[in-house]
Chain A
Amino acid sequence: MTSRMPAQHLSETVDPQSSDSVDPDAGILVARDLTVHYGSFPAIKDVSMAVQPNQITALIGPSGCGKSTMLRCFNRMNDLIESAAVTGRLTYHGVDLYSPEVDPVQVRRHIGMVFQKPNPFPKSIYANIAFGAKIAGIKTGLDQLVEESLTKAALWEEVKDKLHESANALSGGQQQRLCIARAIATSPDVVLMDEPASALDPIATLRIEELMTELKREYTIIVVTHNMQQAARVSDRTAFFNVSVSDDGHRTGRLVEFDDTTTIFTNPREKSTEDYITGRFG
């Protein structure tokens, strides 16, 4: 929470997205002038930001601002969309994630993901957790891995007696914690979360938030959220994205401001950030 190199640089420069403002070695994941095109239209343009290890970084902004697109760059999920093209630079521990010798499948084993809607496999709880390890070639100690992952995801006590029952029988909140357990079972470094609590009730949401705070000791977390209170409650740093609509109706997202969460919520530098967090638009 005190590593503030990029933030300092950012707030001193006039153009927050200028590539010079980000030190390439200043984070675990560093984006420089990252642009994603869907077809010939940019969905996000010239995003530069650095994510710090063992922190929760929140991406907030109005619908269509590209925060989910940005999140999906980090583990190359955008590769699954045929028309998506990523330009610019995105490094993970200094290694370009989009260089030709990088295998997106391997990237996703290091950078896991939790999705907006809980999406357990229609299999047993056990099989859900063990799948990632199995395809990674791990054959022994699966029982222990399942227990560990479920314990870390604060779900073990609730499901330890029904590990071999279908995951679909769990409640929405339990399913989402199962998905978190599934994501950390592959021992990732970073966990990406795409609005992980938006489909859950307030109590289940609270449990997910507590869990995130718990997990950041071991993992780096990047979370997209629509819920500004959530960003304020759990995140260490917040990136505010905004959308501009071109004359022909195409929406392009840009990173407006990226700073410590307290700064973003108490003393934002940009007028549009303030407008958004105070609920004047979005």
Chain B
Amino acid sequence: MTTRTVPTTPDLVRAALAGRRFNLVDSLLAGALLLSLLSSLLVLITLLADTVRTALPVFADRGMDFVTSSLSADPAKAGVLQGILGSLALTGFVLMIGFPLGVSAAIYLEEYATDNGFTRFITANVRNLAGVPSVVYGILGLALFVNLLGGLTNGRTVVSGGLTLTVLVLPIMIITTSEALRAVPGTVREASFGVGATKWETIRHHVLPIALPTILTGTVLTVARAFGESAPLLLAGALVTNFFQPSADASVVQLITDERYTALPLVVFNWARQPQEEFVQLTAAAVVVLLVLLLSVNATTILLRDRFEMKALR
């Protein structure tokens, strides 16, 4: 052991404490880390800037007309209305069926099911399903919802597409909800049981309100995923065409159950492979619409989450 020298006079202490040495490794590392962050950001920004720049003439010339017009083979008239409606309808299905179903399944798994081999088997499978490529869900959608249950879904309708996307996001929904429920402290459950609450009262009044913000965050990601999917919809009956016009006098129910449908990602996909020069700009414009819609849907869910967060405090 070396002898310990303790600086005692102010001068010695000052000398001992001074000397901020330049740490080369640290600085290099910080620089490298910053660079990796910037590179991913740079790609995103370039992509966005390029898309918006290409799309700008379309919005400058036609304004909202592009958003409210129907699909068409004539680039001067083509719009994305069916794509928007289709995507919103699909999102609606995911939210209305996938959300309650996924949350319920997670509540059962986390709060009610006894921890045995069977539930562990189910949990492991749900995790595996979350990693299955989405096109496989398209095949399932085609076989199950379009063909087997065609009597109920009326074949290649938005119902089939919505159900296919619902099945696709269900495992993710279950996993995120399970994790949110698991993060609720056990002391809260004990407190609730301690004053004579039943299991459901405990879940309803304490566990769910605390877990809800996290569940809704998971929902945002889930909806974003469903919104951007195209592969499963190709198989589950969405149209990739420039000619399809719902009958003018169709009611909302008929639009959903009787008519063919498409979605924004598929419009993008279809236009990107058109030979005409004008479709390059239209494609970019459709991407911008897709992104704006996606952000709006996310923002709505986040607002909803914040409202629940405030409410949970009361």
Contact = CB atoms under 8 A, between A and B. Distances in A.
B313 A115 contact: no
A166 B188 contact: no
Interface in B170-194: 185, 187-194
Secondary structure at the A interface, as helix, strand, loop or mixed, is: mixed
Given A109-B196, A123-B314, A131-B197, A115 B210 contact: no
Contacts of B191: 115, 119-121, 179, 182
Nearest to A79: B193
B312 A131 contact: no
Secondary structure at the B interface, as helix, strand, loop or mixed, is: helix
Contacts of A77: 190, 193-194
A136 B194 CA distance: 13
Nearest to A75: B194
B198 A121 contact: no
A68 to B, nearest CB: 12
Contacts of A80: 189-190, 193
Contacts of B193: 77, 80, 105, 108
Contacts of B185: 119
B206 A115 contact: no
Contacts of A186: 195-196
Contacts of A109: 195-196
Interface in A119-137: 119-124, 127, 131-132, 135-136
Contacts of A120: 191
Contacts of A179: 191
Interface string A96-125: 000000000110110011110101111110
Contacts of A108: 193-196
Contact of B114 (A82, A117, A119): A82
Contact of B197 (A122, A124, A135): A135
B205 interface: yes
A183 interface: yes
B196 A121 contact: no
B197 A119 contact: no
A128 B314 CA distance: 10
Q: Which of B185, B188, B191, B196 has the largest number of chain A CB atoms within 10 A?
A: B196
15 contacts: A80-B190, A108-B193, A108-B194, A109-B196, A119-B190, A119-B191, A120-B191, A121-B188, A121-B192, A131-B197, A135-B198, A135-B205, A179-B191, A182-B195, A186-B195
Interface of A: 75, 77, 80, 82, 105-106, 108-109, 112-115, 117, 119-124, 127, 131-132, 135-136, 164, 166, 179, 182-183, 185-186
Instruction: List the 8 closest A-B pairs by CB distance, nearest first.
Output: A109-B196, A132-B195, A119-B187, A113-B194, A108-B196, A119-B191, A135-B201, A105-B198
Given A77-B190, A108-B194, A119-B187, 9 more contacts: A77-B193, A80-B189, A106-B196, A109-B195, A114-B194, A115-B190, A131-B195, A135-B198, A185-B195
